[in-house]
Structure 1
Amino acid sequence: MKPVKSTARWDDWTALAAGLVVAVSWIWHQTIGPPTAALFLLGVAAVFMAVLALTHPDLIATEAVMIVVGLGMIVAPWALGFTGVAPMAWTAWILGAVIVAMGAIGLPQAIALHRRPAAH
């Protein structure tokens, strides 16, 4: 199977960038603790899923998990109790929504590539 050019996958590159920003956001939020660690891990998970989506564009699970990771970011401020730390909460809400949207955009593309017959 011939790999698809990853540069055509702008949605996965956007998710990768958003995940990186989330993962390093603790630096400018100047926070330490379990909520910060959770947000860091969610960012790393988004980066990992985006890299997998870029390197294996026909894997449906990468886009689906990316959506779940983004939803986890959106829910994290309430679930982990950091809604009072506005910059950190807004980072989670906005970039979580971006990651959900990028996963939703990439899902039909991955499904289409997955269904395409392999070239011999």
Structure 2
Amino acid sequence: MNESTTRPWTRSYDWAEVVLGAVAALSPLWMTTDNAATWTLVVLGVLIALDGLASLARPGMVYGEGVQIVLGVLAFVSPWVIGFTGFTGASWTAWVVGLLTVVAGAAAMPMANAEHIRMAGQH
């Protein structure tokens, strides 16, 4: 593990999570949605972005990556659960952002775990 992946504000996977969250949260501005789809994308997008920022600030926060994976799954299933599959753009945004969020969270998990173990060994 190189030093740049363990320093705060340097992990590319966490930056990707922030960008994905921002895209989801802002997507109702440029696509047709209903009230349920808008609020689902905004709330999940903000939560994804905030968790990405938290992971950037604290690289050893393993549970943050787990939360990111759960948020990605929620985003992915939201068009079916909330019922906005009729809005193609909003649905595809939720599916793509959800899938990429799960991938980014899973990819960042080993780095977060290694940093957590390294920090625990310093105590």
- Given the two structures, how large is their TM-score scaled by the length of structure 1? 0.91
2:59 is paired with a residue of what secondary structure? Answer: coil
Q: Is the 8 A contact 2:84 2:91 kept in 1?
A: yes
1:1-120 to structure 2, matched below 5 A, reads 4-7=7-10, 9-116=11-118, 117-118=121-122
Q: Is the 8 A contact 2:25 2:41 kept in 1?
A: yes
Which structure 1 residue ranges, 5 or more long, are not aligned?
none
Deviation at 1:34, TM superposition (A): 2.1
Which structure 2 residue ranges, 5 or more long, are not aligned?
1-5
Equivalents in 2 of 1:100, 1:32: separation in Å?
A: 25
For 2:3, the equivalent position in structure 1 comes to none
The number of residues matched between the two structures is 116
Equivalents in 1 of 2:83, 2:34: separation in Å?
A: 14
Q: Is the 8 A contact 2:8 2:59 kept in 1?
A: no
Deviation at 1:112, TM superposition (A): 0.7
Show CA shifts across 1:48-98 (max 9, x none): 100000000000111000000000000000001111110000000001111
Deviation at 1:39, TM superposition (A): 1.5
Equivalents in 2 of 1:83, 1:93: separation in Å?
A: 10
Show CA shifts across 1:15-48 (max 9, x none): 1101000000010113341221021100000001
Equivalents in 1 of 2:90, 2:34: separation in Å?
A: 11
Equivalents in 1 of 2:46, 2:61: separation in Å?
A: 19
Equivalents in 1 of 2:83, 2:16: separation in Å?
A: 27
Runs of 4+ in 1 over 6 A off after TM superposition: none
